[in-house]
Amino acid sequence: MNNKQVKAFGTSAPEADLVEMHIDRRALTPKDIEIEILYCGVCHSDLHTARNDWGFTSYPAIPGHEIVGKITNIGSDVTKFKVGDLAGVGCLVDSCQTCDSCKKDLEQYCLNGSTGTYNSPDKHLGGMTYGGYSEKVVVDEKFVLKVPSNLDLAAVAPLLCAGITTWSPLRHWNVKEGSKVAVVGLGGLGHMAIKLAKGLGASVTLFSRSPGKIQDALDLGADEIIISTDDAQMKSVEGKFDVIIDTVPYVHDVNPYIATLTINGTLVLVGYLGGLEPMLHTVPMIMGRKSVAGSLIGGIAETQEMLDFCGEHNIVSDIEVIKMQDINTAYERLLKSDVKYRFVIDMASLRGN
């Protein structure tokens, strides 16, 4: 069985627009699933990869790791899915499956290196993996997710990255009924953190620099909004929060938030990989056994748990649906935070439907 060429949108250089191109998808192995992509969310990581902001993009680059679609073909050994099922693919499409992390369903921390949905070495075709800005994708059954049929499929797509990125720390730090959670930043990640923490029964506060986001946060379910530049408001919540999910995607001072943690509280960074500025003040941490931690997406089992939870609680992302041909404009708007709160591509536009 031969590899299959499909339409995709990608870029050939950091400064180049994304344009239509053709890519190969591998012939099905016995454990593979072929998915016709219906919707693909647009993540900040897509933009950073396309423009080589992190310095390790391989071109041509086809972004997209928030994939929802319908199964069109399955390998001979596939047991968990059938043709016609709805399916999702998130940030990972493979891992070694043998290391301690993988054995604990923590494929995102694979000690031998997990395979990203795009811009990772492709074990099957050589070269690099290509993401969801395309007509179809072929993925090992172990990395395919069941999508709740009661939810808006387009609005499910961002759950595969923005959703799991915030769900994983909420679960790891045992957020439950009565927990006090704060969220720093109201964007694609922040709005999901609010929804998921509320779904788990927590009291949720948004930290924001902008008073203009107060009503938006309340509409999403936040119980309180604290303007982080207002010293009096910040002092009013000192020692309050069990967990703070910091979603801000650029270097910023986290010290003011540490003071708002309770004893044993944890500030979890999910929005930025890089340095802290200014230096971390350790005295408040030592005096209150407070922690600053990081978290990266989630494993496949945990992602399925999150999708099932969202199905039960009717939780989806707030989205703006766009055509594939509008992706370059969407990237420019993303840089200005001009979206509430996630772009999702209707892939019928790529197929010409």
Distance between CA 46 and CA 41 in Å, rounded? 9
Residues 278 and 313 in one domain: no
Residues 146 and 196 in one domain: no
Torsions phi, psi of 143, nearest 5? -110, 15
Convert the pLDDT of each residue in 165-203 to its tens digit.
999 999 999 999 999 999 999 999 999 999 999 999 999
Q: Average pLDDT of 286-314?
A: 97
Q: Give the CA distances from residue 179 to residues 24, 173, 176, 182, 234, in Å, rounded to whole numbers and listed in that order.
A: 48, 10, 6, 10, 19
Residues 88 and 137 in one domain: yes
Torsions phi, psi of 43, nearest 5? -105, 155
Residues 210 and 245 in one domain: yes
Distance between CA 85 and CA 91 in Å, rounded? 20
Residues 92 and 178 in one domain: no
Distance between CA 149 and CA 42 in Å, rounded? 21
Inform me whether the pLDDT recorded for 1 exceeds 70: no
Convert the pLDDT of each residue in 111-162 to its tens digit.
999 999 999 999 999 999 999 999 999 999 999 999 999 999 999 999 999 9
Report pLDDT for 56. Answer: 94
Residues 186 and 289 in one domain: yes
For 185-188, the CB contacts below 8 A with 24+ separation are 185/246, 185/247, 185/248, 185/249, 185/271, 186/213, 186/216, 186/217, 186/220, 186/341, 187/247, 187/249, 187/337, 187/341, 188/43, 188/44, 188/158, 188/162, 188/317, 188/339, 188/341, 188/342
Domain CATH for 271: 3.40.50.720
Domain CATH for 50: 3.90.180.10
Residues 95 and 212 in one domain: no
Report pLDDT for 277. Answer: 76
| 254 band by pLDDT with thresholds 50, 70 and 90 | very high
**Three-state SS at 191:** helix
Q: Average pLDDT of 219-224?
A: 96
Q: Average pLDDT of 346-350?
A: 96
Q: What is the domain range of residue 265? A: 163-294
| 3 band by pLDDT with thresholds 50, 70 and 90 | confident
Question: What mean pLDDT value characterizes the chain?
Answer: 95
In the chain, pLDDT over 90 holds for what percent of residues?
A: 91
Inform me whether the pLDDT recorded for 83 exceeds 60: yes
Q: Number of structural domains, the chain? A: 2
More confident residue, 278 or 219: 219
Residues 123 and 198 in one domain: no
Helix (H) or strand (E) holding 4: strand 4-10
Looking at 294, 323, 340, the residue that finishes a domain is 294
Q: Average pLDDT of 207-219?
A: 92
Give the contacts of 168 (CB within 8 A, at least 6 positions apart): 295, 296, 297, 298, 302
In the chain, pLDDT over 70 holds for what percent of residues?
A: 99
Report pLDDT for 66. Answer: 98
Distance between CA 33 and CA 139 in Å, rounded? 5
Inform me whether the pLDDT recorded for 213 exceeds 60: yes
Inform me whether the pLDDT recorded for 310 exceeds 60: yes
From 338, 319, 350, 349, select the one nearest 154 (Cα to Cα): 319
From 71, 62, 59, 68, select the one nearest 133 (Cα to Cα): 62
Inform me whether the pLDDT recorded for 60 exceeds 90: yes
Residues 127 and 234 in one domain: no
141 with 71: CB under 8 angstroms?
no
Residue type, 96: C
Looking at 254, 274, 294, the residue that finishes a domain is 294
Residues 132 and 181 in one domain: no
Q: Average pLDDT of 81-97?
A: 97
Residues 275 and 302 in one domain: no
Element counts in the chain: helices (H) and strands (E): 12, 17
| 89 band by pLDDT with thresholds 50, 70 and 90 | very high
Lookup result for tokens 């929804």: 195
| 353 band by pLDDT with thresholds 50, 70 and 90 | low
Residues 140 and 17 in one domain: yes
